[in-house]
Structures are given as C-alpha cells and as structure tokens.
Amino acid sequence: MAFPTLPVDRARTPTVAEVRLDHLRHNIRTLQRLAAPAAVMAVVKADAYGHGAARTAPVLAEEGIRQFAVATVDEGVALREAGITGRILVLGAPLPGALPTYQHHGLEVNVCSQAIAEAACQLASPATPLQAQLEVDTGMGRLGLAPEDVPSVLAQLREATGLEVSGLWSHYATATSPDDAFTAEQWARFAAMVRGLPGPLPPLHIGHSGGLLMSSEATPPFNGHPMVVRPGIALYGIAPAPALADAAALRPVMRLVSHVTQVKTLPAGASVSYGRTWTAPRPTRLAIVAAGYADGYPRALSNTASIGLHGVLHPVVGTVCMDMCMVDLGPPETARAVEPGDTAVLFGTGGPPLSKVATWADTIPYELCARIGPRVPKVYI
C-alpha cells in the first residue's frame, strides 16, 4: 500500500513533521531479527508516539506485524478504522462500562485487577466473546496483579465461557543498560510466577524497547514457550536510553522542520522576547523561526537549544514563544546568509538529533515526539 504525501502548503503551514516510512520499515525489520524467535507486538499508542498511527500501523502490518498495543479504547477503535485486523491490546485499565466496546471492536482487555477479571467474566459469552491478557506487577508498581494472585485469576478467566486468555505479561521499570540488576530481578520474578502456573499458557511478554535492545536476556525462551516483545520508541528509530544508542542500527523516522519568517539586525544591548531573558552582547543578526511551544517545541529550550540552518547549528536565544522562536546568526559581518523561507530543522537530519534536544529540554525523546501539537501536519515520505 502506498501512502500519498499530505497536501501541505508550506507557505500556510510553516512547521511540519516529516515521517520517513522507509526508515520505519528498516527499523521493524531490524527489531524482528533481534526479537526472533519471539513475535513482535508493535506499540503504537499516543498516535504512534506522535508519528501518526493511522499511517504507520498499516506499514507495520505490511511488514508482518499481527499484534499491536495502544493505551486507550479510542486508540484501538482508530486502528480498526484504519484497517488493522490483527490483535490489539489496550494497555490501560478499562473504565467501568467500556468492556462492550472491547467486544464490538475485537480489542483485548488488560486484566490487571480482580475487579476487571470479574467484570470480564460476567460480560463474556459465546455469542459476544472477549479476549483478555493478564498483567502482573513484577516491580513497576503501576498496573498489574500481584504475582501470588495470578494463579487464581487465570483459573477464573479460563472457566468463563466466551473468554479467551491471549497473553500474560509484565513491564520492565529500568531496562536501560546491559548491567541493570533490577531488570534481571523482574525477569526472575516473572519466570518464577510462570513456572508455578498450570499449562498450557498463553504467549508471554515482558520485553519492551529497552529490554529488547539491552540483551537477549530480556526475552529468553521459557522452555520453548511462545514469547512476544513489545517495542515502542525503538520502532521510530529512537533509543530508549543513551546507553542503548548503538545497540541496533535504527534510523530516526521523524524530522521536525519549520521555516524562517524574518531576519533582522539587533543593536548591542537589545533584548529579545518575553521576560527579556537574553540581551545581544554585540550587533546580532537574528532569524525568527515559525515554531513554538504550541507546535511541540518546548519553552524549556529557551536560551539552551540550537536549530539547524543550512546544515549549521545556531543557538536559540530569548524565551521560546507559543508560535515562534529566535535564532542567533552571529555578528552581521560574519553571519551566514539566511533568508525568509529558509528551512529550519528543529531536530533530525540537518539539525540537532532528537536525543540532544530532549537533553536540552530536560526531558526524554518520548515526550517531545508525543507533544507535537495538532496544528503540525505530518508529511509521509
């Protein structure tokens, strides 16, 4: 299936997110090889981490992905409307009254408490079947059953008519480096719980992007039992932690670009933007870029980040505004020639890497991708 490029008028929409579908294909093939013999469940929550689930999920399906994970029921329904026919696990805990929607759209329920298990058993029937996966808390401290409660809940679900248990899973809290002791501890807890369960068991999964890239210990075969891994951020060419940046030859899928709208010369001593947080130490050429925090370029990047212009990084000066930011081009006599309409790379090829921008903003790449504003269209390449 070929996806047309969105009809974006760059004169009217100066800031866009460019999404490389060929890089996405490269990444999923790379991760499938790393995961083998485990199957891959692609995590496409938060609109595929800001990359557009309706466009990226079908590409992943073309590459053989048959299992997907989202955070909310509406995200699962949107995948169905985009033509996804594979399994879709909703990672969030279902709210009261939501289970009929799971049935109608064939979504898998995350059974992470006794109350959810009881509600699922009461609702499921041969005429209106329901699929469920059990989440066990091995140390994340978030959603999930206590390991000692899993045997009784699993038995309860198995006894219910019209209810299929399609997975048993947990989530790593600190899988960010090859020598992470807590990750090994979580795996040991998960494995010990599994060994105490009567078979046959559904597919098991605990490894996410960090677990998969960290080492094969994240997804070892359990006596030949079917295993699944759940890469999320790695699908989009982003390492989940700096220590894993070279763990696989992944390619960034997104580049965020804007355009220069004005170039001006400031005299020495002139201040820039709200709060006058930056003052020109000398006569300065200044480029105004049409991207701000409403586009997902954080205010925390004020006087901290750099933006790429003609392949050269220039510092952001002054407070990042809702709709624009300012770039120091240097003294007028040595400033690089920049004109209105020139491309400004906020992150990606020709600008700083996303990981560096996240460090400047004191956050993580996940957040920067997910917070790109709704007025920023995506161009699929």
- pLDDT one-digit tens code per residue, 236-293: 999 988 888 888 899 999 999 999 999 999 999 999 999 999 999 999 999 999 999 9
Task: Tell me the C-alpha distance between 310 and 369, whole Å.
Answer: 23
User: What residues contact 101, with CB distance under 8 A and at least 6 apart?
Assistant: 73, 77, 107
User: pLDDT at residue 155 above 50?
Assistant: yes
pLDDT in tens, 1-18: 333 344 566 667 899 999
According to the model, what pLDDT value does residue 5 have?
43
Domain 21-236 CATH superfamily: Alanine racemase (3.20.20.10)
Strands (E), 112-218: 130-135, 163-169, 204-208
Give the strand pairing for 378-380 and 16-19: parallel
H/E run at residue 183: helix 181-195
According to the model, what pLDDT value does residue 217 have?
45
Higher pLDDT, 37 or 361: 361
The candidate with the shortest Cα–Cα distance to 117, out of 139, 99, 137, 138, is: 99
* Residue percentage of the chain with pLDDT more than 70: 94
What is the 8-class DSSP label of residue 33? H
Task: Give, in order, the Cα–Cα distances in Å from 133 to each of 87, 212, 312, 314, 335.
Answer: 11, 21, 49, 49, 59
Beta bridge partners of 111: 134
- Domain range list for the chain: 21-236, 254-380
Query: What is the pLDDT of the chain when averaged over all its residues?
Result: 93
**Range scoring the smallest mean pLDDT among 24-33, 139-148, 179-188, 310-319:** 179-188
* Residue percentage of the chain with pLDDT more than 90: 83
Quick one: tokens of 230? 């759940």
Q: Alpha-carbon torsion 105, 110, 115, 121, what sign?
A: positive
Burial-class residue 25 by CB neighbours within 10 Å (0-12, 13-18, 19+): middle
pLDDT in tens, 320-342: 999 999 999 999 999 889 999 99
Task: Give, in order, the Cα–Cα distances in Å from 333 to each of 112, 320, 336.
Answer: 64, 26, 9
CATH of 254-380, one of 3.40.50.2300, 3.30.450.40, 3.90.420.10, 2.40.37.10: 2.40.37.10
Phi, psi of 101 (to 5 degrees): -65, -40
Higher pLDDT, 210 or 29: 29
User: pLDDT at residue 216 above 60?
Assistant: no
According to the model, what pLDDT value does residue 10 have?
63
pLDDT in tens, 54-66: 999 999 999 999 9
Beta bridge partners of 226: none
Task: Tell me the C-alpha distance between 323 and 375, whole Å.
Answer: 11
What is the 8-class DSSP label of residue 216? G
Burial-class residue 100 by CB neighbours within 10 Å (0-12, 13-18, 19+): exposed
Please state the length of the chain: 381
Region of 251 (left: φ > 0; alpha: ψ -120 to 50; beta: rest) is: beta
pTM over cut 0.85 = yes
Contact between residue 377 and residue 51 where contact means Cβ atoms under 8 Å apart: no
Task: Tell me the C-alpha distance between 287 and 45, whole Å.
Answer: 36
Burial-class residue 73 by CB neighbours within 10 Å (0-12, 13-18, 19+): buried
pLDDT in tens, 101-135: 999 999 999 999 999 999 999 999 999 999 999 99
According to the model, what pLDDT value does residue 268 have?
98
User: Which sequence positions are flagged as catalytic?
Assistant: 45, 274
Strands (E), 161-311: 163-169, 204-208, 227-230, 254-266, 271-272, 278-279, 284-289, 306-309
User: What residues contact 199, with CB distance under 8 A and at least 6 apart?
Assistant: none
Task: Tell me the C-alpha distance between 253 and 266, whole Å.
Answer: 37
Span 221-237, mean pLDDT? 87
**Range scoring the smallest mean pLDDT among 62-76, 77-91, 219-233:** 219-233
CB neighbours of residue 87 within 10 Å: 18
Helix axes 114-123, 150-159, angle to 10 degrees: 10
**Range scoring the smallest mean pLDDT among 69-78, 239-248, 302-311, 355-364:** 239-248
The candidate with the shortest Cα–Cα distance to 231, out of 256, 203, 250, 246, is: 250
